[in-house]
Amino acid sequence: MKLHEYQSKAIFAKYGIPIPKGTIAENAEAARQVASQLGKKVVIKSQVLVGGRGKAGGIKVAATPDDAETIADQILGMTIKGLPVRKVLVDEAINIAREIYLGVVVDRATRRATMMGSAAGGVEIEEVARVSPEKIIRVAIDPAFGLQDYQARELAFAIGIDKANVREFTAIATGLYRAFVDVDASLAEINPLVVTGEGKLIAADGKIVLDDNALYRHLDLEQLRDVDEESSEEQQARKAGLSYVKLDGNIGCMVNGAGLAMATMDVIKFYGGEPANFLDIGGGAKADKVKIALEIILSDPNVKAVLFNIFGGITRGDEVARGIVEGLKGVKTNVPMVARIVGTNAEEGRKILANANMLTAETLEEGAQKAVAAARGQV
């Protein structure tokens, strides 16, 4: 789950990281008030959960409260990469002398949190990694001890932080790591960390991505979830305990297991079709879950056929088939359905499905080919 800039910066502030003075505004009038309270030049920043807000015109400077109102009004009407701007952050403008990158990520290879610093701040770190990876300095953090001051200093010297700022930088770096651990983040970054014209460090922008698996112990943070981060179908799926990702094709997929669901999409593509979604319904195929999953899949008007691929394993094939048929009962549709099930008694399962007007297949390849044909109207 992603947090907005203003939410991330509020967390950073709790860990002693300096942030610009500012407040969130949901309408132009509120933006004007914040600007007039701050009494100086401000930056109006759209709060949407995508990168590239600046390039899209979603971040602008306002010299006066009047300007702030006009600009906020304009930005609040925008849609950036498909996401409507519902809030703007009105921050005091800061005098930028230099921009640095500072972030903590999970490094899968070392199985440790790693702090990354770069003198090339203000641009996306992925871009820096691609163009000039040597500009990124990494420090692996021992989870038993946390980020040590000397490690932060090493990072500071390596990216050329002014000697006068090293102590300040160290406090920010250790604060960032503590925040990362305390909120169970998978990413926490300050980009840019600004060196101001007055020689101070300040977190001008911030981003936190929370580990979904740890949200159970951060109920306060879960409430910060932005409804626009997910489509209504993705939201419905999450609440039902299903993994669902919408794609652009026309063949709906319902599969048990994430790896098999990906492979099913790949096989559809291999036979010339396009998957409409990724969907993992988890163990077996219980009627209630099948029903919800099917409703989600069919809410996409592009879907012209649905492929079920259920590997029963320990669950019996006829049991899986009954679950599917039961789940189908509650859903009205003319979309052709193809089912491929594996498990003990799979043959009996296929009979049950055929009696319910479904096309059946023994192998995944056969199922995918039938689904591709069905989506083309060649049933």
Partner 1 sequence: MSILIDKKTKLIVQGITGREGEFHARQMIEYGTQVVGGMTPGRGGETALGVPVFDTMEQAVAKTGANASVIYVPARGAADAILEAADAGIALVVCITEGVPVVDMMRVARRLAETGTRLIGPNCPGLISPGKSKVGIIPGNICKPGPVGLVSRSGTLTYEVIHALSQRKIGQSTCVGIGGDPVHGLGYIETLELFDADPQTKIIALIGEIGGTDEEKAAEYIKKKMTKPVVAFVAGQTAPPGKRMGHAGAIIEGGTGTAAEKIAAFKRAGVPVARFPGEVAELIAAKLATKSKSRSVAKKKK
- Give the range of 10-18, 25-33, 87-95, 250-258 binding partner 1 by CB under 8 A: 250-258
Over the window 306 to 325, marking each residue x when it contacts partner 1 by CB under 8 A and - when it does not, the resulting string is: -----x-xx-----------
Are 340 and 372 contacting, i.e. CB atoms less than 8 angstroms apart? Answer: no
Q: Based on CB atoms, which residue is closest to partner 1, 69 or 205?
A: 205
Are 60 and 68 contacting, i.e. CB atoms less than 8 angstroms apart? Answer: no
359-361, strands of its sheet edge to edge: 243-246, 277-280, 251-255, 305-311, 337-342, 359-361
DSSP annotation of 262 reads: H
Among 211, 229, 300, 348, binds partner 1 (CB under 8 A): 211
CB atoms within 10 A of CB 235: 14
Q: Based on CB atoms, which residue is closest to partner 1, 30 or 104?
A: 104
132 contributes a contact to partner 1 by CB under 8 A: no
Q: Based on CB atoms, which residue is closest to partner 1, 265 or 290?
A: 265
Q: Is 244 a catalytic residue?
A: no
275 contributes a contact to partner 1 by CB under 8 A: yes
Return all residues near 272 (Cβ < 8 A) that are at least 6 apart: 372
Among 55, 82, 126, 239, binds partner 1 (CB under 8 A): 126
138 contributes a contact to partner 1 by CB under 8 A: no
Among 16, 21, 66, 270, binds partner 1 (CB under 8 A): 270
Q: Is 134 a catalytic residue?
A: no
263 contributes a contact to partner 1 by CB under 8 A: yes
Over the window 75 to 114, marking each residue x when it contacts partner 1 by CB under 8 A and - when it does not, the resulting string is: -------------------------------x-xx-xxx-
The single-letter code of the amino acid at 206 is G
In angstroms, what is the minimal distance from the CB of 367 to partner 1? 11
In angstroms, what is the minimal distance from the CB of 210 to partner 1? 10
In DSSP terms, 115 is beta-bridged to 104, 139
Return all residues near 363 (Cβ < 8 A) that are at least 6 apart: 340
The count of chain residues that interact with partner 1, using the rule CB under 8 A, is 51
CB atoms within 10 A of CB 347: 12
Among 260, 287, 298, 356, binds partner 1 (CB under 8 A): 260
261 contributes a contact to partner 1 by CB under 8 A: yes
* Residues 341-360 interacting with partner 1 (rule: CB under 8 A): 342, 344
140 contributes a contact to partner 1 by CB under 8 A: no
What does the block give as tokens for 49?
A: 């959960």
Among 265, 296, 353, 371, binds partner 1 (CB under 8 A): 265
Among 125, 221, 320, 373, binds partner 1 (CB under 8 A): 125
Instruction: Quote the CA–CA distance of 89 and 5 in Å, as a whole number.
Output: 8
Q: Identify the H or E element spanning 139.
A: strand 136-141
In DSSP terms, 310 is beta-bridged to 341
In angstroms, what is the minimal distance from the CB of 57 to partner 1? 22
Task: Output the furthest CA–CA distance in the chain (Å, rounded).
Answer: 78
The total number of residues shown for the chain amounts to: 379
Q: Based on CB atoms, which residue is closest to partner 1, 5 or 280?
A: 280
Instruction: Quote the CA–CA distance of 297 and 74 in Å, as a whole number.
Output: 36
Are 292 and 242 contacting, i.e. CB atoms less than 8 angstroms apart? Answer: yes
Return all residues near 162 (Cβ < 8 A) that are at least 6 apart: 195, 199
Instruction: Quote the CA–CA distance of 146 and 129 in Å, as a whole number.
Output: 25
* Residues 222-241 interacting with partner 1 (rule: CB under 8 A): none
Q: Based on CB atoms, which residue is closest to partner 1, 265 or 296?
A: 265
> Active-site residue among 5, 69, 99, 189?
189
Half-sphere exposure of 158 (CA within 13 A, CB side): 19
- Beta strands 305-311 and 251-255 are parallel
State the residues that interact with partner 1 by CB under 8 A: 106, 108-109, 111-113, 125-126, 129-130, 142-144, 181, 184, 186, 211-214, 216-217, 243, 245, 247, 255-263, 265-270, 275, 278, 280, 311, 313-314, 342, 344, 363-365
Positions annotated as catalytic residues are 101, 189
